[in-house]
Amino acid sequence: MVIVVSDSLQQWRVVGRVAAWLRLPISQGRLLAVAASHGFTFHHARHDTATLSLWLGEGENRLPGFATHQVGVAGAVLDEASGKVLVVQDKNKTKNAWKFPGGLSNLGENIGATAVREVFEETGIRSKFQSLLSVRQQHKHPGAFGMSDMYLICRLRPLSYDIHFCTQECLRCEWMELVKLAQTGATTPITSRIAKLLLYGYREGFDKIDLSMEEMPAVYSGLSYQLYHRELPASYKQP
C-alpha cells in the first residue's frame, strides 16, 4: 500500500487534484498508520468504514467537514374538534415534564415523516403532517456527541385517538386541553411557548402561524427538496 499511495499522491499533485479521499473498512484498520504517515486524517466513520482525507491544494484546507448537527423532530398533534393536544412525559428524566412526542430524524427522512413516525412509535396515535411551527438551535447538547442540535416542532392532525403508548420510552401519555398545556408550569419552556403559539393559531387561524411545506424541483436533475415557508395571502397581487 505504501508504494501505491505514494505514487498516486504524486500523480494527483501533478495533474492538479486538490484533495484525496481514502475509505478503509474496519477489517483493514492496520493500514490507518500507513495512511497517517502520508498525512491523511480522519474525516468521518460510519458503520464499518472510516473515511480519511488529505488536502493537496494550496493554502488552507477547504474540504467541508462531516455532519455537524443532529435533527430532532416533535409532533404537536392537535384535535381541533376537542381542542386537545397529545402530550407525553418521557421516562427516566430528572423532571417529568409534559412535552410533545418526538425523536431523532433518520438519514434521508423528511421532517414531517419523522414527526408522524415518532408520534406513532411513542403513543400509538396515527397522524398527518400539517405544517412546521418552530425551529430551535442548540450547541453543546449533552446528548449530541459534541455536535450541534436542531429541534423542530410540527403541527399534526390526528387520524386515530386511542392511546397505546410505549412504556419503555414514556411514563405517561394523554390528550390534554390545549389551554391547560399553555398555562401549566409542569412542562418544558419550548413546549409552553409552542402551546401558546398553537392556541393562537387554533383561535385566530392556522394561516397566521403555519410554515407550510411545498415540494420544489432541485437544480440537480431528477431531485427535489421541501421548502417550508409562510404562504402569501390569496388577496396578494404579484408585482
Q: What are phi and psi of 203, to 5 degrees?
A: -90, -35
Query: Can you give the pLDDT at residue 49?
Result: 94
Residue 227 within a domain? no
Pair 154, 42 in one domain: no
Q: Do 102 and 49 share a structural domain?
A: no
129 vs 57: CA distance, rounded Å: 46
The mean pLDDT of 98-125, rounded to a whole number, is: 96
Q: Which of the four pLDDT bands, split at 50, 70 and 90, describes residue 7?
A: confident
Residue 226 is predicted with a pLDDT of 92
The residue segments making up the domain with residue 202 are: 69-207
Query: Average pLDDT of 94-119?
Result: 93
CATH number of the domain residue 6 falls in = 3.40.630.30
Q: Is the per-residue pLDDT at 112 higher than 90?
A: yes
Claim to verify: residue 17 and residue 74 sit in the same structural domain: no
| Tens digits of residue pLDDT in 161-172 | 999 999 988 999
In a domain, 230, yes or no: no
Assess if residue 62 is contained within a domain: no
39, part of any domain: yes
What pLDDT does residue 173 have?
97
Q: Could you give the number of structural domains in the chain? A: 2
Position 217 in a domain: no
Q: What cell was used for 152?
A: 423542530
pLDDT band at 174 (very low <50, low <70, confident <90, very high): very high
Note whether residue 60 is domain-resident: no
**Statement to judge: residues 135 and 47 lie in one domain:** no
Residue 219 within a domain: no
Per DSSP, helices labelled H in 27-110 are: 32-37
Strand ranges (DSSP E) for 26-164? 41-46, 49-55, 69-79, 84-90, 98-99, 102-104, 127-138, 148-158
Residue 95 located in a structural domain: yes
Phi, psi angles (nearest 5°) of residue 81:
-70, -40
Mean pLDDT of 168-190: 95
pLDDT of 94 reads: 65
Answer whether 155's CB lies under 8 Å from 130's CB. Answer: yes
Q: In CATH, what number is assigned to the domain containing residue 196?
A: 3.90.79.10
Calculate what percentage of the chain has a pLDDT beyond 90: 66
